[in-house]
């Protein structure tokens, strides 16, 4: 065996959270292929046998750790002539501490050679490691091994994120890299790092900085694919001793990436968006273009994995002829195949002719299944029936609204009932929730209506970005211009009510505020943690473009936070949706008590 090149396989794979059998089989198949390729070592992502995110699987079903132990035995069995580095939950047998360690086992000669335990446990955003794992102590010895004349040091994901020279602020006192790196030739980092807007550049800069600082190679192996709401972007890689990126696997794809530690390597290009600079985080921009390929790919991956891993294959959604359902339809068609998507136009008396024809045209362009089911009659019927109910209730209760949203909501709910019924009637079918992030922040979505579904593909994408995404898809999909231009050009409306000022359908921006302003408020909350006072002092992009008096601005901001307070319940019951932005309102990462009547103004 010629190991001069120290061939290493980075097993950039897509596990299912909690399905040890599935993940083990994937591991064994990868090891067999690595052996065929005569590799010296194969490295799996962090906690691979369990798959991230792990939720409370380990604490609720602790016997799953036993499943992992048995899986490791099977893996040792097949690991002939190859070193295997694989992540798993290790029971903590001590009387002190959390029940598990987040560990990586080094298998050599079909035996346990060494076990490395994670020290720094991420517990922010989507991360919950400290909930389950005991932080391990770091020594020079307990993170180092030798193979083929090379000295390796193992750092596990968050272990690598605490360099005191790189970060202005550090979350932890200790830095495992500081202890390990001076002793080794190569740092090995098994990770499970999900894709977020503008995270890649930080990651790249840090790894490059660390490998240069310590004059070591740096190998990073990341999970890929999506589980529920988190999409892992892969892009496993290596840096040389000068911090130069010299090898990179693909983005968002499974790959057994072949790495020659001392030879030539492949550098796959990053998907556009992954490379965004950190500077762009510091200022709001309406130019969403740089992040669109990543956004498209992440959502497509999320849909595809959510359906297949849950045993679904078909989606049904309402096609209103508006932007949200349109973008969802394109993403679904690309993720599931157009014949697995059914778009239903469900016009009410408020639906314009254009909406109907736009929806039909879109479906025809995409080649998805399409039908029209008018809801005018049933809404009319319910309206009358409900009027009787309300009159009766009025005999008991006061405070009936003069202008309620009841009829608006009945329309949205009647539509959703059709979608759920189709899903109930046909195997493997999920209805889709089409709510977007701007409107969820405002609670501008109907419970059991448009915000109801088995999955919500665009719940973490703001409206201005959806417009950009629609244009991007028209340009970059092989089937060009599938989205009719009129859908992108017309101002958004839910078509659920009449504007008493204009006598026409109420436009969303009139019910809320201009989306360009709204989306910047969201950005300022999520990226700068600003209060209303901070925002009053800041100049919005919208203000630069259009003269906005101070009273209007204050009214919009007050309206925003007032609506946000009442939208919290809707966030609580919104279906799962892929996390896309740097920060989001997805339940996976953000928790705010519903009763928190925060005084945002002070």
Task: List Cβ<8 Å contacts ≥24 apart for 265-270.
Answer: 265/238, 268/235, 270/200, 270/235
Residue placing its CB nearer to a copy of itself in the complex, 60 or 111: 60
Residue placing its CB nearer to a copy of itself in the complex, 549 or 599: 599
d(CA 221, CA 234): 8
Closest Cα partner for 442 from 561, 551, 586?
561
d(CA 156, CA 114): 14
* Segment holding 87, helix H or strand E: strand 83-91
| Annotated catalytic residue 68 | no
Residue 426 CB-density burial (10 A; 0-12 exposed, 13-18 middle, 19+ buried): exposed
Instruction: Report the greatest alpha carbon distance in the chain.
Output: 89
Residue placing its CB nearer to a copy of itself in the complex, 400 or 480: 400
Please report how close the Cβ of residue 219 comes to a copy of itself at its closest, in angstroms: 28
Please report how close the Cβ of residue 39 comes to a copy of itself at its closest, in angstroms: 30
User: In sequence order, what DSSP letters do the residues of 442-508 get, joined into one string?
Assistant: TT-S-TTTTT-SSB-TTTTS-HHHHHHHHHHHHHHSSSTT-S-HHHHHSPP---SSB-TTTSSBPPH
The answer to whether 419 and 344 are in contact (CB under 8 A) is: yes
Residue placing its CB nearer to a copy of itself in the complex, 312 or 542: 312
d(CA 42, CA 107): 10
Residue placing its CB nearer to a copy of itself in the complex, 235 or 446: 446
| Annotated catalytic residue 46 | yes
Closest Cα partner for 30 from 46, 51, 44, 17?
44
Please report how close the Cβ of residue 445 comes to a copy of itself at its closest, in angstroms: 13
Query: How far, rounded to the nearest angstrom, does the alpha carbon of residue 446 sit from its chain's CA centroid?
Result: 23
* Segment holding 141, helix H or strand E: none
Closest Cα partner for 85 from 124, 40, 128?
40
Residue placing its CB nearer to a copy of itself in the complex, 416 or 474: 416
Q: Phi, psi (5° rounding) for residue 244?
A: -90, 135
Please report how close the Cβ of residue 76 comes to a copy of itself at its closest, in angstroms: 18
From the list 157, 189, 194, 328, the catalytic residue is 157
From the list 7, 24, 98, 118, the catalytic residue is 118
The 8-class DSSP code of residue 84 comes to E
From the list 46, 495, 516, 589, the catalytic residue is 46
Please report how close the Cβ of residue 142 comes to a copy of itself at its closest, in angstroms: 18
Please report how close the Cβ of residue 172 comes to a copy of itself at its closest, in angstroms: 7
SS3 577: coil
Only one residue has tokens 């665009």, namely: 458
Residue placing its CB nearer to a copy of itself in the complex, 455 or 467: 455
Please report how close the Cβ of residue 573 comes to a copy of itself at its closest, in angstroms: 5
Exposure string (b/e) for 553-573, b if CB count within 10 Å is 16 or more? beebbeebbeebbebbebbee
| Annotated catalytic residue 118 | yes
Contacts of 247 (CB under 8 A, 6+ apart): 237, 238, 257, 259, 265, 266, 267
The 8-class DSSP code of residue 322 comes to S
Please report how close the Cβ of residue 414 comes to a copy of itself at its closest, in angstroms: 8
Residue placing its CB nearer to a copy of itself in the complex, 267 or 393: 393
The answer to whether 133 and 100 are in contact (CB under 8 A) is: yes
Please report how close the Cβ of residue 100 comes to a copy of itself at its closest, in angstroms: 12
Residue placing its CB nearer to a copy of itself in the complex, 6 or 224: 224
Q: Which residues are catalytic?
A: 46, 118, 157
């Amino acid at each position: 065996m010629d190991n001069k090149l120290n061939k290493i396989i980075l097993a950039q794979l897509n596990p299912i959270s909690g399905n040890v059998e599935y993940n083990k089989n994937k591991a064994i198949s990868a090891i067999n292929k690595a052996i065929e390729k005569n590799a010296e070592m194969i490295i799996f992502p962090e906690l691979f046998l369990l798959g991230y995110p792990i939720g409370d699987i380990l604490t609720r079903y602790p016997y799953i750790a036993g499943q992992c132990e048995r899986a490791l035995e099977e893996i040792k069995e097949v690991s002939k002539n190859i070193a295997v580095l694989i992540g798993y939950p290790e029971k903590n047998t001590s009387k002190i501490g959390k029940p598990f360690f987040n560990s990586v086992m080094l298998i050599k000669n079909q035996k346990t050679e060494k076990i490395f335990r994670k020290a720094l446990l991420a517990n922010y955003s989507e991360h919950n490691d400290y909930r389950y794992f005991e932080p391990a102590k770091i020594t020079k010895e307990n993170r180092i091994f030798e193979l083929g004349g090379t000295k390796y040091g193992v750092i596990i994901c968050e272990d690598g994120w605490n360099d005191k020279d790189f970060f202005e602020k550090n979350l932890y006192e200790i830095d495992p890299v500081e202890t390990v790196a001076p002793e080794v030739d190569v740092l090995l980092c098994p990770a499970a790092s999900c894709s977020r807007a503008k995270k890649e550049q930080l990651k790249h800069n840090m790894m490059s900085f660390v490998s240069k600082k310590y004059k070591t190679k740096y190998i990073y192996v990341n999970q890929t694919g999506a589980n529920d709401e988190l999409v892992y972007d892969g892009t496993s890689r290596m840096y040389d001793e000068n911090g130069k990126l010299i090898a990179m696997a693909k983005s968002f794809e499974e790959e057994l990436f072949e790495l020659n530690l001392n030879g030539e390597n492949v550098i796959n290009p990053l998907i556009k968006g992954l490379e965004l600079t950190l500077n762009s985080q510091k200022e709001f921009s309406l130019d969403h273009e740089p992040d669109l390929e990543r956004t498209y790919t992440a959502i497509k991956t999320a849909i595809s994995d959510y359906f297949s891993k849950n045993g679904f294959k078909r989606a049904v959604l309402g096609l209103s002829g508006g932007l949200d359902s349109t973008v969802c339809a394109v993403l679904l068609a690309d993720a599931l195949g157009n014949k697995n998507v059914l778009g239903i136009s469900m016009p009410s008396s408020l639906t314009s002719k254009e909406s109907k024809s736009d929806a039909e045209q879109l479906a025809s362009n995409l080649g998805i299944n399409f039908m029209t089911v008018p809801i005018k009659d049933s809404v009319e019927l319910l309206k009358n029936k409900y009027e009787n109910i309300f009159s009766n209730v009025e005999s008991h209760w006061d405070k009936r609204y003069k202008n309620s949203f009841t009829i608006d909501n009945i329309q949205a709910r009647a539509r959703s009932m059709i979608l759920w019924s189709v899903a109930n009637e046909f195997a493997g079918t999920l209805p889709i929730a089409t709510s977007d992030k701007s409107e969820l922040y405002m609670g501008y979505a109907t419970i059991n209506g448009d915000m109801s579904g088995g999955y919500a593909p665009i719940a973490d994408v703001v409206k201005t970005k959806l417009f950009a995404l629609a244009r991007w898809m028209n340009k970059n999909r092989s089937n060009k211009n599938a989205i009719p231009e009129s859908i992108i050009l017309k101002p958004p409306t839910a078509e659920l009510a009449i504007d008493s000022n204009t006598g026409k359908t109420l436009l969303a921006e009139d019910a809320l505020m201009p989306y360009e302003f709204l989306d910047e408020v969201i950005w300022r909350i999520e990226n700068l943690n600003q209060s209303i006072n901070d925002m009053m002092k800041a100049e919005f992009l919208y203000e630069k473009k259009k003269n906005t008096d101070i009273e209007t601005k204050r009214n919009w901001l007050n309206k925003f936070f007032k609506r946000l307070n009442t939208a919290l319940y809707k966030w609580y019951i919104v279906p799962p949706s892929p996390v896309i932005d740097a920060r989001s309102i997805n339940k996976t990462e953000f928790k705010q008590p519903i009763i928190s009547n925060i005084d945002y103004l002070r």
